[in-house]
Amino acid sequence: MWPSLKRSNLAGVHIYHTGTGWQADILLKTSAPGDEAIIGTDAVQGCSTREEAVEAAIDMLATVILIETGQAAPTTEAQSAEDHLTFELEGLPITLEPNFHEAVPQTVRDIPTSDVKQTLIRYLSADFPNGVTRDAFAALPSERRGSYVGLAAALLQRGVLEFRREHGATAK
In this structure, of 4-8, 25-29, 123-127, 139-143, the range with the lowest mean pLDDT score is 4-8
In this structure, of 23-37, 71-85, 87-101, the range with the lowest mean pLDDT score is 71-85
Is residue 19 a contact partner of residue 81, using CB atoms and an 8 Å limit? no
Residue 169 predicted with pLDDT over 70: no
Q: What percent of the chain has pLDDT over 90?
A: 9
Domain layout of the chain by residue ranges: 49-171
Residues 6+ apart with CB under 8 A from 88: 94, 161, 162, 163
Half-sphere exposure of 122 (CA within 13 A, CB side): 20
Residue 22 predicted with pLDDT over 60: yes
Counting beta carbons within 10 angstroms of the beta carbon of residue 67, is it exposed (0 to 12), middle (13 to 18) or buried (19 or more)? buried
What is the phi-psi region of residue 90: left when phi exceeds 0, alpha when psi lies from -120 to 50, beta otherwise? Answer: left
Residue 92 predicted with pLDDT over 80: yes
pLDDT-derived band of residue 124, with 50, 70 and 90 as boundaries? very high
Query: Mean of the pLDDT values across residues 102-115?
Result: 72
Query: Mean of the pLDDT values across residues 104-131?
Result: 82
- pLDDT higher at 73 or 117: 117
The Cα–Cα gap between 125 and 85 comes to 25
- pLDDT higher at 25 or 80: 25
The DSSP bridge pattern shows strands 92-96 and 38-40 to be unpaired
pLDDT-derived band of residue 69, with 50, 70 and 90 as boundaries? low
Instruction: Give whichever of 4-8, 50-54, 62-66, 106-110 has the largest mean pLDDT.
Output: 50-54
Residue 76 predicted with pLDDT over 60: no
Residue 23 predicted with pLDDT over 60: yes
Nearest to 47 by CA among 83, 3, 15, 94: 15
pLDDT of residue 16: 93
